[in-house]
Structure 1
Amino acid sequence: MNASVFAAAQAISVAGDVHANVMAHLRFMQAAAEQDVKLLVFPELSLTGYELGLAAKLAILPNDSLLQPLRDLAQELCLTTVVGMPIRLSTSEPVLIGALILGADGSLGVYSKQHLHTGEEVVFAPGHGGPMLPMDLDQVALAVCADFTHACHAASAAGQGTTVYAAGVLISKGGYEPDTTLLQSYARQHAMAVLMANHGGATGGWESAGRSAIWGPDGSLLAAAQGVGEALVIARRGDSGWAGQAMAL
């Protein structure tokens, strides 16, 4: 059977401790590879936490050497991995909310958040989006949190042939129901699977809801984490259709 396997990494970020978060990401990557995952997506700003006050100091160029252990493991495991980090595209440019694409082939791609939440503009500039990710028979489009609250973002992705819409987010308990209702509607409306990787614990003064989830292209819930805590939420598309599972780490 030909299978495409995608996963949301529901990670808990240590505030501002990039080294500790890199080590945690490596552990998630190993666990995902054991489940034959080919694309692993982490939450928004997963390598620093959603720490707006630290973002400018911690921002890196995308090719910074601190990502090398993650890039090496992604290539070793043949696991394309999307990690969240404050970035600058050059030393003279503003800080963006980045989703860095560490390719299974050793490549490096950059997605930057296009639509900012209120308050984020104090630290970040709006980003530029990024490339579609070809994954076997699928085309994956990325989003970072507030991007998906703009219906035009998902519609544009669908118009480019997206089959999987993958969002790294920070969603609180109060926002969970409306946000997931919206994401589920995109799956149904555009006939694409939708993956949501949420933080597994509190970050930046926000209490994350956890409950990362993946919906099938008919809008059905394939799998979701039960609550907060570290988890992998996995979806597999094979010859007989889609199936999902959630596992605590």
Structure 2
Amino acid sequence: MTLRIAAVQAAPVVGDTAANVAAAAAWTRRAAAGLVVFPEAFTTGYDDEVFRGPLPRVGETDWLDPLREAVEETGATVVLNSALDRGDRRTLTDLVLAPGREPWAAYDKQHLHPPERAVFTPGEHGTTLTVGGVAVALSVCYDANFPEHAAAAAQDGALVYVNSGAYFPGGEHRRDLHYASRALDNGVYVVFSALTGHGFIGGTAAYDPLGRPIDRLGTEEGVVVAEVDAGVVEATRADQRMWADRRPTLGRRVTRA
């Protein structure tokens, strides 16, 4: 069982949702993949002033029509991260668009950086999609810094952990280490889509279940593609036993002076 996943690295037009949705449609056509993943807040741009202003509303989907047309044309499933106005709260949300279906607000970012906490509400649950028979878990940027987030996804049966992110200068080492570690920890593929431009450093990448980079970008716009193979996950977990050998509980801790 295989799935072609494309992670897009691009610079959005800050504050111009229509232009960014049109760009997402063009990237989806270019990617030619079964699953296409976009960076964090791609529809609005990652910008504090924009986040506090008018945002797309969760119950309105007309603004997504250009991307919906690309999805129907290509047959791709798209994970598009957006700042959303949910009425009683604001969230950084993975919208999922699939052929023949209404757009779905599938996952809200669960771990928020301090500046985000002043605007957004964290999500309350994880989400795993099945695309082409492959279980794919969703995450957004800072989520991947927490090993238990990816572990919960793997426990739920995910073979792939996808992440929509946005990293500032100085975050290169942490970015690369976290995503490779989540792959090796759990014997899963990790596919990371990053913002570039406007002060963001890109680094879009895909990692195999041993944490080795399959492909990666610098700061340039482009697409990273991973051919995900469920058989490789199975073989990796049979050889690298961490996933099978982990204990469901470590019991109580004993601390002594």
Normalised TM-score (structure 2) = 0.84
Equivalent residue, structure 1, for 2:93: 98
Query: Is the aligned partner of 1:76 residue 2:68?
Result: no
CA distance in 1, matches of 2:17, 2:227: 31
Answer yes or no: is the 8 Å Cα contact 1:56–1:86 preserved in 2.
no
Equivalent residue, structure 2, for 1:10: 9
SS in 2 for 1:66: helix
Partner amino acid for 1:179?
Answer: R
1:21-42 alpha-carbon deviations (Å, 9 max, x no partner): 1121111011012xxx011110
SS in 2 for 1:186: helix
Distance 1:32 1:129, change over 3 A: farther
Displacement after TM superposition at 1:12 (Å): 0.6
Equivalent residue, structure 2, for 1:165: 161
CA distance in 1, matches of 2:13, 2:40: 13
Structure 2 spans left out of the alignment, 5+ residues:
234-257
Structure of larger gyration radius: 2
Distance 1:104 1:142, change over 3 A: same
The one of 216, 219, 222 aligned to 1:228 = 219
CA distance in 1, matches of 2:230, 2:154: 22
Displacement after TM superposition at 1:95 (Å): 0.7
Structure 1 spans left out of the alignment, 5+ residues:
243-249
**Percent same amino acid among aligned pairs?**
31
Equivalent residue, structure 2, for 1:212: 204
Answer yes or no: is the 8 Å Cα contact 2:126–2:153 preserved in 1.
no
Single out whichever of 58-67 and 151-160 deviates more from structure 2. 58-67
SS in 2 for 1:173: coil
Displacement after TM superposition at 1:241 (Å): 5.3
Equivalent residue, structure 1, for 2:251: none
Answer yes or no: is the 8 Å Cα contact 2:159–2:230 preserved in 1.
no
Equivalent residue, structure 1, for 2:121: 125
Number of paired residues? Answer: 231
- Written as runs of structure 1 = structure 2, the 5 A alignment for 1:181-200 is 181-200=177-196
Distance 1:129 1:51, change over 3 A: farther
SS in 1 for 2:171: helix
Query: Is the aligned partner of 1:237 residue 2:228?
Result: yes
Displacement after TM superposition at 1:238 (Å): 5.0
Partner amino acid for 1:229?
Answer: E
CA distance in 2, matches of 1:31, 1:151: 33
Partner amino acid for 1:165?
Answer: Y
Answer yes or no: is the 8 Å Cα contact 1:58–1:86 preserved in 2.
no
Answer yes or no: is the 8 Å Cα contact 1:158–1:190 preserved in 2.
yes
CA distance in 2, matches of 1:20, 1:240: 39
Answer yes or no: is the 8 Å Cα contact 2:77–2:97 preserved in 1.
yes
Normalised TM-score (structure 1) = 0.87
SS in 2 for 1:59: coil
